[in-house]
Amino acid sequence: MASHEYFQDKLVGNHCFGCGADNPHGLQIKSYWEGENLSVCQFNPLYYHTAAPSHFLNGGIIAMIIDCHCICTAIAYAYQFQEREIGEGNPIWFATSNLTLNYKRPVNIAEQVILEASVMDYDEKRASLACKLTSEGKTCVEATLEAIAVTEEWMNKSPDKNRI
């Protein structure tokens, strides 16, 4: 397998369950550039990522890995747009404002999943992405994601300990 520079490994302070390198209990997805505006993520589901029928991948896990792959792609694209290495200088963060999924077919839990995302529109405050999830050579899910820029303060805000 070729060596890749993964976006997530360069994002300090990312505790996301799906893509955060700083979350040892998470899915730890890894995304990388395959072309000028094409990012790829290869994900190998585990047996407990199951839907109700145990031979299919859970739809929520599918949504999470698409969401995380797209957000990390938006962040990587923003750094590239500013001609900086990911993680260099002031941090750039995005969050999901809209995620639309079109589930075309079930995903076999025993097979590797490939995500491909590209940025369709971008400015420093938002990004629009398209993503395709394939497995066994077939498109299983098509998605679009709208991302909005968020501040480092928003990223680092402490949880309200008084909330029940």
pLDDT string in tens for the chain (164-residue length): 456 899 999 999 899 999 999 999 999 999 999 999 999 999 999 999 999 999 999 999 999 999 999 999 999 999 999 999 999 999 999 999 999 999 999 999 999 999 999 999 999 999 999 999 999 999 999 999 999 999 888 887 766 655 54
Any idea which architecture 8-156 has in CATH? Roll (3.10)
What are the boundaries of each domain within the chain?
A: 8-156
The model's pTM is: 0.93
> What is the DSSP annotation of 11-65?
-TT---TTT-TT-TTS----EEEEETTEEEEEE---TTSB-SSTTBB-HHHHHHH
